Chains A and B, each alone.
Chain A
């Protein structure tokens, strides 16, 4: 997945970030083909309900043994566990790229 550019930020999907990644949420791209499983709108609502909203700071804290899955992400002041497949829908920019 090549890096995308959204409103001036170099973004990557959170699902491809490594442990230790720090940054900010730039957008939710729930219609990406590789985060199938739930219908896009439903996935979007669930992500928002767990605090994944544009602008929120994120940090990838931990990952599982097999395939680095699932991941534990600090979103603002909450820690959320999710699979990388769903995390693909969260576009993030690294802290250094955020103005």
Chain B
């Protein structure tokens, strides 16, 4: 796969044995935070794409570039690792690609080990391990500028001789900073190097210890001057990792992020939403058969629109996540939150996905990629939909304003606001409780996954790399919206549209559809919750997006004006529903898996139907139990 980029045929400059048009594959390997991705960006520019490795949730980053000698190279940016020993799915990908074990991947012709020049100790041990693989290997000492500024001087020749491999320096963030690496690639690839047999095996503790001793010896040999610690990082950490001030600053950063995802995205979302409404209206007036018009307008356009509308939120969220990651702050945030999240069995890194889920669970679930451990990540994905997303707000607002009296309690606190707050609180408590249970139910065997990670030096983020990263992820989301999510939307449209109402029908069309049949069929099941068949019917299109239920209720109760007539809907509901039913409906909405897009994203991100099903059924069970309890208690108290 070239990602749609045409690879120019090689201007064969007398190279022997190089089949014309064949692309050389180079893999980038290195410790986390070594500037590997910056180097990848510098080499490929915008000729890169982010996808997933088949069957796993690991991000696959590939790109193309041409060397000065005209050699076309496909470069793979492999997940960061300290060892080929592979402890996480990400690291397994790195190991399998390097060893040529992954059948879906081309075996790399050459490995570039990227190392942070100011932090060589752990990288050198990885180099020693990579040498055992027997493939052509080049060590690129990255961030050489930062190392020099701190007084670190490295004798490249001496290191190269001692290691027996070419060593070059690079400054990924500077124009021309990759010249030495490119020249070395041309030199190393010129005579089509052949790798020897791999002598690598998973090292045991004493082999690792020996390798680290050897790495320390090489480091002493190569270091002309050791340099100082980064004074900026030490100063910043004194404040940012302070037990109290650090937490306050973290909360402030989270608040700004939450605001940005929630509020800044709003105008753009309105534009997109209006755009799709306009497009829908345009199609609605087109001279087409009624059924085709409905399919395009209510199925395709409304379906795609309801997903694309989240693009601004996803873009802003990933901008912040990548910015914090590039700054080196993300690891600090995990450090500060570890104990707090750990109480509920969540990883320190889970807080950003969960916070994002207040805006929408879809970007939240996508953001769980910052969690390395698969089990921790699955737990976070399971509970993310319980956070009160913005799509629940129209439903909550409608029911609260129709049923909860607008008066103050305890002096100044509005009762309606208090109920709203309570709904949020129940969602959060529910999420923590579910993760607590899930941790003990699903992964009892491995309860002790340790929290151990490097706190890298702070770095000035590169805007270009940041924008490239956001762009690649936005594209990945759009691709998903166009496939999995769209097909779910069309299914829901079919349920709400077929069969068509008979000629001369008086009621709303949805009343004759499969959705209505489902609504009637479900009545015995939902009666203990106080739900009538009209509510059941509204829940079907509500699967497309939660707030659609508001419009659907309007349609079923034959109120003109759709969603814009929310006040009118409220008045009708207040006349038709008992208070107990309304409260049960709210309780239902806290927990119910009422969002096909979220389920589709869970399917995509976990790579399995199983976790989608687990999420759907546990949420359904919680929703049923909560609505049942609320309706029965409220009825017993005389609100039936």
Give the complex CA separation of A83 and B122 in angstroms. Answer: 20
Q: Are A86 and B122 in contact (CB under 8 A)?
A: no
Q: Are B247 and A65 in contact (CB under 8 A)?
A: yes
B209 contacts A by Cβ under 8 Å: yes
Q: Are A76 and B335 in contact (CB under 8 A)?
A: no
Docked complex: A30-79 residues within 8 A CB-CB of B: 36-38, 41, 43-51, 53-54, 61-67, 69-70, 72, 74, 76-79
Give the complex CA separation of A51 and B119 in angstroms. Answer: 11
Q: Are A41 and B241 in contact (CB under 8 A)?
A: no
Q: Are B241 and A72 in contact (CB under 8 A)?
A: yes
B331 contacts A by Cβ under 8 Å: yes
Q: Are A38 and B85 in contact (CB under 8 A)?
A: no
Q: Are B243 and A46 in contact (CB under 8 A)?
A: no
Q: Are A51 and B455 in contact (CB under 8 A)?
A: no
**Chain B residues in 8 Å Cβ range of A41:** 204-205
The total of Cβ contacts below 8 Å across the A-B interface reads 114
**Chain B residues in 8 Å Cβ range of A74:** 229
A: number of interface residues (CB 8 Å)? 36
Give the complex CA separation of A78 and B125 in angstroms. Answer: 14
A49: which of B83, B216, B244, B447 is its contact (CB, 8 Å)? B83
Give the complex CA separation of A75 and B147 in angstroms. Answer: 18
Q: Are B208 and A81 in contact (CB under 8 A)?
A: no
A17 contacts B by Cβ under 8 Å: no
**Chain B residues in 8 Å Cβ range of A66:** 339-340
Give the complex CA separation of A37 and B448 in angstroms. Answer: 4
Docked complex: A6-44 residues within 8 A CB-CB of B: 36-38, 41, 43-44
Docked complex: B204-220 residues within 8 A CB-CB of A: 204-205, 208-209, 212-213, 216
Docked complex: B431-478 residues within 8 A CB-CB of A: 447-456
Q: Are B122 and A78 in contact (CB under 8 A)?
A: yes
Q: Are A64 and B453 in contact (CB under 8 A)?
A: no
**Chain B residues in 8 Å Cβ range of A80:** 452-455
Q: Taking the nearest CB of chain A, how far is it from the CB of B432, in angstroms? A: 16
Give the complex CA separation of A38 and B453 in angstroms. Answer: 16
B335: which of A46, A50, A51, A72 is its contact (CB, 8 Å)? A72
Q: Are A81 and B450 in contact (CB under 8 A)?
A: no
Give the complex CA separation of A49 and B213 in angstroms. Answer: 12
Nearest neighbor of A74 in chain B, beta-carbon distance = B229
B76 contacts A by Cβ under 8 Å: no
Q: Which of A44, A54, A81 has the most CB of B within 10 A?
A: A81
Q: Are A50 and B454 in contact (CB under 8 A)?
A: yes
Q: Are B335 and A64 in contact (CB under 8 A)?
A: yes
Q: Are A86 and B450 in contact (CB under 8 A)?
A: yes
Give the complex CA separation of A80 and B247 in angstroms. Answer: 19
B510 contacts A by Cβ under 8 Å: no
**Chain B residues in 8 Å Cβ range of A77:** 118-121, 229
Give the complex CA separation of A50 and B367 in angstroms. Answer: 26
Q: Are A49 and B208 in contact (CB under 8 A)?
A: yes
Q: Are A48 and B450 in contact (CB under 8 A)?
A: no
Give the complex CA separation of A47 and B247 in angstroms. Answer: 27
Nearest neighbor of A47 in chain B, beta-carbon distance = B452
Q: Taking the nearest CB of chain B, how far is it from the CB of A59, in angstroms? A: 10
Q: Are B450 and A46 in contact (CB under 8 A)?
A: yes
Q: Are A53 and B453 in contact (CB under 8 A)?
A: no
**Chain A residues in 8 Å Cβ range of B125:** 49
B121: which of A69, A76, A85 is its contact (CB, 8 Å)? A76
**Which 8 A-B pairs rank lowest in CB-CB distance, beginning with the nearest?**
A37-B448, A65-B243, A62-B241, A79-B455, A49-B82, A48-B208, A44-B205, A82-B452
Q: State the B residues within 8 Å of A (CB).
A: 82-83, 85, 87, 118-122, 125, 203-205, 208-209, 212-213, 216, 229, 237, 241-244, 247, 331, 334-336, 338-340, 447-456
User: 29 pairs across A/B with beta carbons < 8 Å?
Assistant: A37-B448, A37-B450, A38-B448, A38-B449, A41-B205, A44-B205, A46-B450, A46-B452, A47-B452, A48-B209, A49-B83, A50-B454, A62-B241, A63-B243, A64-B336, A64-B338, A65-B244, A65-B339, A66-B339, A70-B451, A72-B241, A76-B121, A77-B118, A79-B454, A81-B334, A81-B338, A81-B453, A82-B450, A83-B451
